[in-house]
Every structure is written in structure tokens, then in C-alpha cells.
Amino acid sequence: MTTTQHDQRDTADNEILIAVMGGTGSGKSLFINRACDSEALKVGHDVQSCTETVDEAPPFELDGRTVRLFDTPGFDDSNKSESEILRIIAFELENQFRQGVHLHGIIYVHRISDVRVGGLAKANFGIFRKLCGEKSLRNVIIVTNMWTKVTKEEGERRVEQLASMEDFFKDALDKGSVMMHQKRDTVESVREIVKAIMKNHPSPLAIQEELVTESKDINQTSAGQEVDKRVAAVMEEYERKMKEQLEAAEEARRMADEETRKELQEEREKNERKLEKLREETSTHAEQYRMLQAQLKAIEEEQRKSMAEAAAERSRMEARLASASQSQSEQVRSRFPRRGPPPQLSYPRPPRALVNRNRFPPGHPMSAENRGSWMPIPGRPGQYVRRYY
């Protein structure tokens, strides 16, 4: 599947590629299902994150072009860490880039019904920004949805606030991204947004260039470093909490409050385990990504081998068929010899060497000067035959 050369596939290929990203539960999968007018992707209905991999929705035709949409998990996934999600998304983006596939647009879904923009939403968009870099920002469309859950005025007020938030959408909007609004929960409303993206010129994302062109490790990419920064902050927070818990446990011991001391001790151990998990995750981040790549390479190598074997088998079969049909036609020729007049060359003709031109004296009907002349047929008066020697 992957080719080492990333020959830029011509966009006149007629295909429009769009990745849909955003926080967990923001409505990415439903947005794609609406665009495709299908129910191909699973939509979440509880507090747990739903989409866990990068999924391609069934392609559909729009204005004479084929649209392919990719669903992604949110960085704030409830079951997976940010670095795990980054690996999943980066892996797909890297492989698309290696195949010369470039995105026409990246949709970032945000619920207009969210009353506040919390730290998680900001962190999610922060990693997304690093993933895109600067160049591809002009292909980023921030889509607000769930307008049916707010009044028109409320929604419009929030749009203004979101667009002016320095640590959120403002920077991306200043650098070429646009905001669009899916105000109705209809196929048409979603397709209007897709149509706007179809005018875009595809552009690689920063993470694609970093991983492929610059051969960086995942943890050396801007998005990888952003994730590491966030993980480091979380680890620091755990360490701070653990220190506090240790002091409080010490205090409880002095006060002979065994129950509180035990509780604090248990809390501290829980945090210690979480911290250890994060440490391990960070230290194996790059290695795990390399393992993913190695697995893909092995699969591709396997596919390449079986394709080569199939091609060799095909040419062996063709050669066998060709020789079988040749011997068959020879058999047919020998069993059914050609009918009709024999070809000119097979006329029986005495070899010239056997003809003694001087055998008959001049004047004799068989003499040299009469050779090849018309001779009367004996017993058939008036009939002649031409004689050759």
C-alpha cells in the first residue's frame, strides 16, 4: 500500500479528500454520515468515546466529483491517551502522504451548544493546530454544529466569542482558516460545507512533512511535542498531588487518625500508578509508533510477495496454454490434411538432371526443340497434351 516515493497524485483524479477532526462527542461521525447520506459510521450515544480508529466513510458523488471523508477519534478520548490518539491519526496521515494522497480540507467540529470552552477543548485544538502547521490552515474549516440546541441569538453570540478567543480559534482564523455553521441537521446543510471545501487546493499537513520529508520521530514532531508538553504538565500535577497527600498522611499519622492516613495512602498509590503509566507511555511513544510502521511494512511486503507470486503463476499458466494450443493445432493439421488443390510447389516434376536432352534426334517428336510443345494424345484424334521434361 505504502510507496516510499510520495509522487503527488494529481488532484484532477477527481477525488476530494477530507479529514474530520474535533473533540470526542462533538459530532464528527454523524457529520460524515449526513454528508454521505448513510449510517455507515457508528455514532456514540453515551459518555464513552465511540470512534477509536481512523475510518473512511463510503465515497459519494457531489457535483461530478467523488468525495471521501475520514473520521478520526478525538484527542480527549475517554479510553485512550493523547499520545495514543496522535499515533493513530499520524499513522494514517503519514501513509496517505506516502501514497501521494493529499487532503483538500480538514474539518474541525465544535459544538455551538457548549457553554464554556474548557482546558480539554483548548488542548484538543492545540494539538490539532500543531498537526496542521501553518501552511494547511487555509484548508481548515471550523464547523459549528448542534445549532438546534441553542437559540439563533445565543449561537451567533457564541460564534463571535469563539472567533475572538486568543487561545482558541482566533489565531487559526487570522491565518486563513474559516468558520462555517451547520445550522440545520440535514444532508443539504452538511453538503454546503463539503462543497466549499471542494474549491480548495490540497496541501500537506505539517505532521506529514515532518514524518516523511524530514524523517522525524513522532515525538520530535510539533504535535508530538505538544502532546509531551501536556503529558509533562499532567505528570507534574500528579507529583504535586502526591506530595500533598504524603504530607497530609504524615499529619494524620501524628494525629493518630489511622483511617484518614490509610485513605490518603491509597489515593497516593493510585496516583503513583497513573504517573508510572504516563512515564512509560512517554518513553515508549516513538518506539510504539515505529512498531506500527514496521507492522505495516511487513503487511505490505507480504502483499507484494503474494502479488509477485500470482503474476508468476499467471505467466506460467499462459505459457502452458500457449504450448498446449500449438501442439493441439499440429495434431489437428495432421489428422485433417488440407483439402482442395495442392499448392503449386507440390506439382510432381521430373528433376532436370534426369532429362537427357540429346536422347532423341532432331525432328523426333520428343527431340529437344519439341520439348514442352503440344503432343497429340494417342488414340484420341484431335486432342493434345502439353509435355514437359
Window of 49-57, 105-113, 262-270, 368-376 that interacts with Mg ion by CB under 5 A: 49-57
Residue among 113 and 284 whose Cβ is closer to ligand GTP: 113
CB 58 within 8 A of CB 38: yes
Residues in a beta bridge with 67: 16, 60
Q: How far is the CB of 106 from ligand GTP (least distance, A)?
A: 15
Should residue 74 be labelled a site residue for ligand GTP when binding is judged by CB under 6 A? yes
288 Cβ partners below 8 Å, 6+ apart? 87
Should residue 193 be labelled a site residue for ligand GTP when binding is judged by CB under 6 A? no
User: Strands 65-71 and 105-111, how do they pair?
Assistant: unpaired
Q: How far is the CB of 213 from ligand GTP (least distance, A)?
A: 30
Q: How far is the CB of 111 from ligand GTP (least distance, A)?
A: 8
Query: Nearest to residue 236, comparing CAs of 228, 224, 225?
Result: 228
374 Cβ partners below 8 Å, 6+ apart? 384, 385, 386, 387
Residue among 84 and 272 whose Cβ is closer to ligand GTP: 84
Q: How far is the CB of 289 from ligand GTP (least distance, A)?
A: 21
Q: How far is the CB of 321 from ligand GTP (least distance, A)?
A: 52
Q: Which of 2, 44, 156, 296 binds ligand GTP (CB under 6 A)?
A: 44
Should residue 27 be labelled a site residue for ligand GTP when binding is judged by CB under 6 A? yes
User: Strands 178-181 and 105-111, how do they pair?
Assistant: unpaired
Query: Nearest to residue 60, comparing CAs of 100, 89, 33, 42?
Result: 33
Should residue 40 be labelled a site residue for ligand GTP when binding is judged by CB under 6 A? no
The three grid cell numbers given for residue 78, joined into one nine-digit string: 475517554
Q: How far is the CB of 53 from ligand GTP (least distance, A)?
A: 10
Q: How far is the CB of 26 from ligand GTP (least distance, A)?
A: 4
- Residue 148 interacts, among ligand GTP, Mg ion, none and using kind-specific CB cut-offs from 5 to 8 Å, with ligand GTP
Window of 6-14, 51-59, 262-270, 296-304 that interacts with Mg ion by CB under 5 A: 51-59
Residue among 146 and 242 whose Cβ is closer to ligand GTP: 146
Distance CA(309)–CA(243), nearest Å, equals: 62
Count helices and strands (H / E) in the chain. 10, 9
- Residue 73 interacts, among ligand GTP, Mg ion, none and using kind-specific CB cut-offs from 5 to 8 Å, with ligand GTP
Q: Which of 96, 144, 145, 177 binds ligand GTP (CB under 6 A)?
A: 145
CB 11 within 8 A of CB 103: no
Should residue 26 be labelled a site residue for ligand GTP when binding is judged by CB under 6 A? yes
State which amino acid sits at residue 85. Answer: I
164 Cβ partners below 8 Å, 6+ apart? 170
Should residue 208 be labelled a site residue for Mg ion when binding is judged by CB under 5 A? no
What helix, strand, coil percent values describe the chain, rounded to 5?
55, 10, 35
Planar angle of CA 59, 63, 65, nearest 5 degrees = 45
Site for ligand GTP in 343-362 (CB under 6 A): none
Distance CA(280)–CA(67), nearest Å, equals: 40
Should residue 189 be labelled a site residue for ligand GTP when binding is judged by CB under 6 A? no
Roughly how many angstroms between the first and final C-alpha of the chain, as a whole number?
A: 78
- Residue 45 interacts, among ligand GTP, Mg ion, none and using kind-specific CB cut-offs from 5 to 8 Å, with ligand GTP
Can you give the binding site for Mg ion, defined by CB under 5 A?
28-29, 50-51
Can you give the binding site for ligand GTP, defined by CB under 6 A?
22, 24-30, 43-45, 49-51, 73-74, 145-146, 148-149, 185
